[in-house]
Structure 1
Amino acid sequence: MGSRQVNQAVRRHGGFSMVEMAVTLAVLGILMASAMPSLGDWMANARIRNTAESIHEGVQKARAEAVRRNQSVTFWLVTTADPKVLSDDCTTSSSSGSWVVSITDPTSKCSVAASPTTAPQIVAARAVGSGGEGVSVVATQRDGTAGPTSITFNSFGQVANATPIGVISVNDGAADSTRRKYKVMISSGGRSLVCDEAVTDTTDPRICPAS
């Protein structure tokens, strides 16, 4: 049976000829290639957003626990050799997406299980993990002073330490306008929010307030 007869037979049974299959694959390849840049932006923005929301969740947890326990609780940014694991090689850092909420300094104790008595009395913790790869985190005080690694809340939910984190910038360091740039901002009264630096409309709740 010749190729023409094969194609006719395939058509009669509702299938595709080799030519049609090749054309379909070629078109699919073109569509996938054109979608790759936007897909890359979407994935990068998802990592940035997830990291910002994770950090904000930790800050909120620290404040809520300070009020609930009627004692000071601290949110710490920490870094480890492996960003996927909170291990005992951890140190405090102003440029990491991993965090620990605890009563005392968690340096070298980040793998300790949550406990009300065992130092550092961890309440909650999260490693930035693979979901935060390529994401830049920079913490500053509210006035822009660099270097703070923690923020302590007292039993009233107010900021209690002398040099607290006031702003945490979360982005991927790219100048590309398609990449999101978020901030986690904490007021002196202890309230926190995630805002989008690209938003300029003052009526939009995503806008970043003046720090």
Structure 2
Amino acid sequence: MNSNEEILKPLDVSGFSLLELMVVVVIIGILAAAAVPNMGGWLAKRELNSASRVLYSHIQQARSEAVRGNEIVKICFDTGTTPDSYIVIGNSSGIIIPQTSLPSNDLSFSSINFSGIAAMASNTTGFDGRGLSLQSGSITITSSKAPSADNDRTITLSSGGSTSITP
């Protein structure tokens, strides 16, 4: 073979061309753009679930403290602050759980409904020394960012002291 023929002979090169690479990058960009709006709703729903579970566990802790100390423990909800908050107070032991705010301004107590003892405010509940609820009712936490079909969680407190979360 002539040396000129060796130079002009095509090389066996494997790999991607620049055009193929750019097409793949564009496809990934389109898929990512479609996923981002769904991600926002997912994060808001996750935050709502987390706030509901924290409040649920604080209610359970209040009940445990009431039984342990054989005292009345109250949970007072405040919707006048931003974000909404609550505090757990024992009659003789003082503050059990300090003022706790919902983790975001996107979350709020949309409904606080307690009934039972006339001397207690409607935004207050608690437990006696036997672990029974002073006022049964419910608290609803709503997210302004979560998808509207699934944007609230209701924590229900029965007169027997049991607590549950419903979507």
Q: TM-score, normalised by structure 2?
A: 0.74
* 1:152-171 aligned within 5 A: 152-160=126-134, 164=135, 166-171=137-142
Partner secondary structure for residue 45 of structure 2:
helix
What do you get for the CA RMSD once the two structures are aligned? 3.0
Aligned 8 A contact 1:148 1:165 in 2:
no
Q: Which runs of 5+ in 2 are unaligned?
A: 1-9
Deviations 1:43-80 (A, max 9, x none): 12112111211111111111110001111111122358
Aligned 8 A contact 1:61 1:101 in 2:
no
* 1:122-133 aligned within 5 A: 122-125=95-98, 126-129=100-103, 132-133=104-105
Higher relative contact order (CA 8 A, sep 6+): 2
Partner of 2:157: 186
Aligned 8 A contact 2:82 2:105 in 1:
no
Partner of 1:102: 89
Identity of aligned residues (%): 26
Q: Which runs of 5+ in 1 are unaligned?
A: 1-7, 84-95, 105-114, 197-211
Partner of 1:201: none
Q: 2 CA distance for matches of 1:186 and 1:67?
A: 16
Q: 2 CA distance for matches of 1:75 and 1:47?
A: 22
More helix by share: 2
- Structure number, greater radius of gyration: 2
More strand by share: 2
AA aligned to 2:142 is N
State the aligned residue count.
150
